[in-house]
Amino acid sequence: MAPIPTYLNPAAVLVLVSCDLCLVRANRPPSPVNVTVTQLKANSATVSWDVPEGDVIIGYAISQQRQDGQMQRFIREVNTTNRACVLWDLAEDADYIIQVQSIGLHGESQASKRVHFRTLKQSDRLPSNSSNQGDITMEGLDKERQLQTGEIIIIVVVLLMWAAVIALFCKQYDIIKDNDSNNNKEKTKPSSEHSTPERPTGGLLRSKKKSPSINIIEV
């Protein structure tokens, strides 16, 4: 706001102040509309709203208050285009009142209309969650069983393939072994059948004839 000259009368001062207030209000964004509360639980809830088109909104502000006045909270978020917010740490089975404001480039809007809601009891929430958890657990067990069955089938198929490979290898090995033994037998037969026993080449020793010795006696 511009400084007010001291020579102006009080009436003029009031006019200037009211004009400045009018300008500020004119630059403010419009208030959010269609404020609703959904996903009610014992300790949380979700508030959502709409913003009229044509205005630049850079954030929001939420005023949360218990109806008995024991607790009040103010949530402010800028640099966002979200149109919803989750309220946490709420009291169980308690009444709340909320209001939402839009944050624009020139300030905040007027607060929206008051919206009243009541959180649920813990007992009201557990049955639905317990049934869902049971469904999730059963689905998880079914999936786990399917995985175990598939793994068992894969293991059995692999073992059968290995058994077939080993049996084929053993069969081929026996065939090769039999062929080698037959070849060795065929190689040894000619030498044993066609060979004749050696006969001694040596005969009777021929006796040498001795020439008769003549002894001459001189008389």
Q: What is the pLDDT of residues 63-120, one digit of tens each?
A: 999 988 888 999 999 999 899 999 999 999 999 999 999 999 888 999 999 999 999 9
pLDDT of res. 174? 81
pLDDT of res. 66? 94
Quote the number of domains for the chain: 1
Q: Which pTM value belongs to this model?
A: 0.48
Asked whether residue 198 carries a pLDDT value surpassing 70, the answer given is no
Strands 72-78 and 84-87: unpaired
Q: In what order do the strands lie in the sheet with 33-38?
A: 33-38, 45-50, 84-87
Query: Would residue 110 count as lying in a domain?
Result: yes
pLDDT of res. 118? 95
Query: Would residue 96 count as lying in a domain?
Result: yes
The domain that holds 35 is classified in CATH as 2.60.40.10
Query: Would residue 209 count as lying in a domain?
Result: no
With CA atoms as reference, report the closest residue to 60 among 48, 71, 72.
48
Query: Would residue 161 count as lying in a domain?
Result: no
Query: Would residue 213 count as lying in a domain?
Result: no
Query: Would residue 42 count as lying in a domain?
Result: yes
* Residue in the structure block whose two tokens are 């021929």: 206
For 107, the domain range is: 26-118
Contact predicate 119/42, CB 8 Å: yes
Report pLDDT digits (tens) over 130-159. Answer: 444 444 445 555 666 666 787 889 998 999
Report pLDDT digits (tens) over 9-53. Answer: 554 444 444 444 444 456 789 999 999 999 999 999 999 999 988
Residue 34 to residue 50: CA distance in whole angstroms: 6
Query: Would residue 206 count as lying in a domain?
Result: no
